[in-house]
Amino acid sequence: MTDPVILLLVLPLGGAAAALAAKLPGIDRRPALVRALTLVTPVVLLGGAVALGFGYAAASAGRVATYTLGGWPVPVGIGLKLDGLAWLSSVLVFGLSFLISLYAVAHREYGPEFYFFFMLLVAGMEGVVLTTDVFNMFVSFEIIAISAYVLIAYHREGTALVASFKYLVLSSVGIFFFLFGVFVIYRELGTLAFADITSLYAAIEDPVRLRTLRLALVALVVGIGVRTAFIPFHTWLPEAHAYAPHPISALLSGVLIKVSFFAMVRIITVFSPGMFAHLLLWIGAVTAIVAVVWALSQRDAKKLLAYHSISQMGYVLAALGAAGGATAAITVSGGPAGAAAAADAGGTLALSAAVYHALNHALFKSLLFLSVGTAVHLTGERNLYRMPRLGRRAPLLAVLFGVGALSIAGVPGFNGYASKVAISTALAGSPAYMLLNLTAIGTAASFIKLSRVFRPGARDSEGERAPAQARERILPPGATVGMSLIALLCVTVGLAPRTALGLLQGLLAPGSGLATMSPAFAPAKLLDTAILLALGFVVYRLTQTEIGGRIAHRIEEHAPGLRTVLLFFLVGVVGFALAATVA
């Protein structure tokens, strides 16, 4: 008996078909019908999320749901697999896309094409999550990429076009490296299925073949690395995420980079769990601190958020690096590797912390992008120093932004704090953790800076800009519901941090001895956090001084061109290749 895993792919594809049907003649001239067909998008996404909810019991019990397309068995046919990690990612994909699509639908400024590509993007992400072989991962990644390019350039503004083109060139080069890696795997092992790769790779004795395959893994990791956007592959992200339509910014920053991150975890685990652990730890820490410096220097509100996405993914990556070989727990249940992984309680905690922070970041970053996006939409201004203050005019928006900002800054009681405590427990004693602490200061500072938009100002309500949109409702009901639900999730997780972590561990490493993090609200932790936040305020004041402003301006001007971007990419390729041959 098989499981209805295919539903997770057919649902979004069917939603895409509904959006496409809105373009058929006879339908396209009837606005009510077109509107109804676009409403299929959130309904379908909600359906997927609910269906996943029914699968929770099986997933948490460690049961792996499988499916094969057309009934052909796996080495010949295309297989799908829904294990704990895939379940978590699918919930993220469907749940958050649903809430974001509520926002998009409520704003009524997107046509059926938008929803077609939106659903295609969701289908591609589900493909990456569920696939059981390397080649279908490539195909799904390309489905994601194609829809993402179109969606970023949806409004056809000049900057968005350039951003989309940059993303296209860089990620295509990356994906061709990925495909080259696929070729090397096929040439050496004669198979592309994850399970076969794992067993064949483990049996290799010959050092030359081993090195070849490690280089193939480098090619795969580099290809996915471009999508996950850690240094040195991050350069496309700020522009692509900043100039995309607001719901798409939220979707890309909130969901897409997590999906590619989970794909990277899976790929590394398929070969040898713990590979690149040390490299990833340091890349993560450096990514976090460098990106936060850039974020702090931005005046463009959405670009600031985009740089923070890179920075927060640095946290996640560092925690993954600390997890080392414990990632085996995800795919190997039972067997010596699984037993070793289960025994490694610290590693399991680090792995859970990485996934925990990735999920939390998905929540608060999409909330932030939606609220800042609404502010940009209302004021028609992206520069946060020129935006009129919205605090009095849009109190609800300010509250929603506040929840996101407090979460990302790591204030106790919000979900960002919860996962940061988990990461600090996992990384305790590592020198890389110092860098993450510095990052926390920068994060607090830049959100104090961004919050000026939402503070109640003296002359904010009427006046400054021509109120062309003043009578428009600030947040349509659908958008309010979507954003409030995200905010509610942020607070809920923040108030019950250990319960949430326990649930995660149960899914990621079922049956392993649960490692628990240190109490989240211990006085020492709270004191540390208070110090970091206070330092953040000091840093914020410093950036507002003249010298600070000048330095910030310098950094902001330092945006790499496409050529530099590609050179960065090649440096990254060489770096990973060196790490693989030395290891």
Partner 1 sequence: MSEYLIGLIFLVGLWGVLSKPNIIKKIVGLSIMNGAIVMFFVHHGARFGSTAPIREGAETGAAAAAVMVDPLPQALMLTAIVVGICIIALGLALAVLLYRRYGTLDIRSIEAEAWSTRD
Partner 2 sequence: MRKTDIIDVIARKLSPYILLFGFYLVAFGHRTPGGGFQGGVVMASGIILLALGRDPTVAMTAFPPAKLSIAEAASYILLLALGVAGVAVGGYFLENVLPPGFAVPRVGFVFALNIVIGIKVGAGVSLIALHLFREESG
- Among 94, 86, 12, 83, smallest CA distance to 50 is for 94
Site string for partner 2, 356-385 (x = CB under 8 A): ------------------------------
- Find which of partner 1, partner 2, none residue 269 binds, CB within 5 to 8 Å per kind: none
Shortest distance, position 91 Cβ to partner 1, whole Å: 28
Using CB under 8 A, which of the segments 17-25, 52-60, 162-170, 333-341 binds partner 1?
Answer: 162-170
156 binds, among partner 2, partner 1, none (CB under 5 to 8 A by kind): partner 1
Asked if 227 contacts 336 with a C-beta cutoff of 8 angstroms, the reply is no
Phi/psi of residue 462, nearest 5 degrees: -115, 165
Lookup result for tokens 């003296």: 458
In this structure, what are the phi and psi dihedrals at residue 55, rounded to the nearest 5 degrees? Answer: -85, 0
Least Å distance between CB 247 and partner 2?
Answer: 23
Of the pair 14, 47, the CB lying nearest partner 2 is at: 14
Q: Is 24 in the site for partner 2 (CB under 8 A)?
A: yes
The dihedral over CA atoms of 177, 182, 185, 189, expressed in degrees to the nearest 10, equals: -170
Q: How many chain residues are in contact with partner 1, going by CB under 8 A? A: 37
How far apart, in Å, are the Cα atoms of 39 and each of 36, 47, 82, 285, 552? 5, 13, 28, 42, 43
Q: 40 or 152, CB closer to partner 1?
A: 152
- Which option in partner 2, partner 1, none does residue 153 bind, with CB closer than 5 to 8 A by kind? partner 1
Q: Which two tokens stand for residue 533?
A: 């936040």
Q: Which does 69 bind (CB under 5 to 8 A by kind): partner 2, partner 1, none?
A: partner 2
Helix (H), strand (E), coil (C) string for 253-288: HHHHHHHHHHHHHHHHHHHCCCCCHHHHHHHHHHHH
Name the amino acid, one letter, at 294: W
Q: From 137-145, 280-288, 463-471, 534-542, give the range in contact with partner 1 by CB under 8 A.
A: 137-145
Stretch that binds partner 2, among 5-13, 38-46, 127-135, 214-222 (CB under 8 A): 5-13
Note whether 464 binds partner 1 by CB under 8 A: no
Regarding 162 and contact with partner 1 (CB under 8 A), the answer is: yes
17 binds, among partner 1, partner 2, none (CB under 5 to 8 A by kind): partner 2
Kindly identify the residues of this chain, within the stretch 555-574, that bind partner 1 according to CB under 8 A.
559, 561-563, 566-567, 570
Other residues' Cβ atoms within 10 Å of the Cβ of residue 473: 10
What tokens appear for 66 in the block? 């499988």
CA-nearest of 396, 444, 126, 118 to 250 is: 118
425-431-433-434 Cα dihedral, nearest 10 degrees: 130
Residue of 97, 69, 96, 76 whose CA lies nearest to 7: 69
CA 451 to chain centre: 23
- The number of helices, as runs of H, and strands, as runs of E, in the chain is 26, 2
The binder of partner 1 chosen from 383, 469, 518, 581 (CB under 8 A)? 383
Which partner, partner 2, partner 1, none, binds residue 199 by CB below 5 to 8 Å per kind? none
The whole-angstrom separation of Cα 544 and Cα 539 is 9
Out of 3, 20, 528, 583, the only residue in the binding site for partner 2 (CB under 8 A) is 20
**What x-and-dash track marks residues 170-189 binding partner 1 by CB under 8 A?**
--xx--x--xx-xx--xx--
- Give the Å distances, CA to CA, from 152 to 147, 223, 301, 305: 9, 20, 17, 16
Q: Which does 73 bind (CB under 5 to 8 A by kind): partner 2, partner 1, none?
A: none
What residues from 282 to 341 belong to the interface with partner 1 (CB under 8 A)?
Answer: 300
Q: In 545-561, which residue ranges form alpha helices assigned H by DSSP?
A: 546-557
3-state helix, strand, coil in the chain (%, to 5): 75, 0, 25
Q: Give the x-and-dash track for 482-501 against partner 2 (CB under 8 A).
A: --------------------
Residue in 29, 54, 70, 471 binding partner 2, rule: CB under 8 A: 70
Shortest distance, CB of residue 180 to partner 1, whole angstroms?
A: 6
Residue among 3, 23, 165, 204 that touches partner 2 (CB under 8 A):
23
Q: Tell me how crowded residue 513 is: count the other CB atoms within 10 A of its CB.
A: 12
> Of 8, 37, 67, 220, which one interacts with partner 2 (CB under 8 A)?
67
Angle 7-21/31-38 helices, nearest 10 degrees?
160
Residue 23 interaction partner, one of partner 2, partner 1, none, beta carbon < 5-8 Å per kind:
partner 2
523 binds, among partner 2, partner 1, none (CB under 5 to 8 A by kind): none
Pairwise CA distance, residues 272 & 261, whole Å: 17
Phi/psi at 80 (5° precision): -125, 150
Q: By CB under 8 A, is residue 114 in contact with partner 1? A: no
> Residue from 2, 159, 499, 544 that binds partner 1 (CB under 8 A)?
159
Distance, in Å, from the CA atom of 460 to the CA atom of 375, rounded to the nearest integer, reads 13
Task: Answer with the entry of partner 1, partner 2, none that 50 interacts with (C-beta below 5 to 8 A by kind).
Answer: none
Q: Is 577 in the site for partner 1 (CB under 8 A)?
A: no
Q: Which is nearer to partner 2, 74 or 399 (CB)?
A: 74
- Residue of 41, 68, 198, 446 that binds partner 2 (CB under 8 A): 68
User: Minimum distance from CB of 170 to partner 2 (Å)?
Assistant: 22
3-state secondary structure of 468: coil
**Rounded distance, CA 529 to CA 483, Å?**
27
User: By the criterion CB under 8 A, which residues form the site for partner 2?
Assistant: 2, 6, 9-10, 13-14, 17, 20-21, 23-25, 67-71
User: By the criterion CB under 8 A, which residues form the site for partner 1?
Assistant: 135, 138-139, 142, 145-146, 149-150, 153, 156, 158-159, 161-162, 164-165, 168-169, 172-173, 176, 179-180, 182-183, 186-187, 300, 382-383, 559, 561-563, 566-567, 570
